[in-house]
């Protein structure tokens, strides 16, 4: 009876945790609830474990519990993985903010042989619909526009 109470308390904590996680990851909540409720069932009705095991083709009730434990471990791993991904997203946002705040504008470091916007030939800018606002107009030479 003492063991059943202790285990029930632990399973209740898992259920509470699962409920708290619903907004972040519904799938983790659902899986946690399923395995916790299975835990409650087998804690309070241990004799059913063998019957359920036979029903699903496992044989021994102890083996069934072992498999359920393996499932619980996988849910825990999934939860940890999703938490890591969430942390990585935050890290990405931080890195992006740093990168955008320190953007380099090397316009003046351009080598002399590389064209500037205003010195592009008319042929290169021959599509008037996309013409840059500072590009030469048709009929106007690059020098005139510079």
**Interface with another protein by CB under 8 A: which residues?**
23-25, 27-28, 78, 81-82, 85-86, 88-89, 91-92, 95-96, 98-100, 102-107, 109-111, 114-115, 117, 120, 124-125, 127-133, 135
- Give the residue with the Cβ less far from another protein, 27 or 45: 27
Least spacing, CB of residue 15 vs another protein, in Å: 19
- Give the residue with the Cβ less far from another protein, 58 or 82: 82
What DSSP assignment string belongs to 6-36? Answer: HHHHHHHHHHHHHHHTTTT-HHHHHHHHHHH
Least spacing, CB of residue 77 vs another protein, in Å: 12
Least spacing, CB of residue 92 vs another protein, in Å: 5
Pair 40, 11: CB distance under 8 Å = yes
Q: How far is CA 32 from CA 18, 70, 85, 96, 107, in A?
A: 6, 13, 19, 34, 55
CB neighbourhood size of 82 (10 A): 15
> Distance between CA atoms of 27 and 68, rounded to whole angstroms?
17
> Distance between CA atoms of 32 and 23, rounded to whole angstroms?
14
- Give the residue with the Cβ less far from another protein, 1 or 130: 130
- Give the residue with the Cβ less far from another protein, 25 or 36: 25
Least spacing, CB of residue 40 vs another protein, in Å: 25
């Amino acid at each position: 009876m003492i063991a059943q109470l202790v285990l029930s308390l632990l399973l209740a904590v898992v259920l509470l945790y699962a409920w708290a996680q619903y907004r972040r990851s519904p799938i983790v909540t659902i899986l946690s609830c399923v395995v916790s409720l299975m835990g409650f069932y087998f804690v309070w009705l241990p004799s059913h474990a063998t019957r359920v095991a036979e029903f699903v083709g496992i044989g021994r009730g102890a083996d069934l519990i072992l498999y359920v434990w393996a499932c619980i471990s996988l849910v825990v791993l999934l939860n940890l993985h999703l938490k890591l991904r969430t942390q990585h997203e935050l890290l990405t946002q931080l890195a992006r903010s740093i990168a955008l705040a320190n953007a380099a504008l090397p316009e003046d470091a351009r080598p002399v042989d590389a064209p500037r916007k205003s010195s592009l030939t008319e042929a290169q800018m021959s599509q008037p619909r996309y013409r840059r606002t500072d590009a030469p107009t048709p009929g106007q030479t690059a020098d005139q526009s510079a």
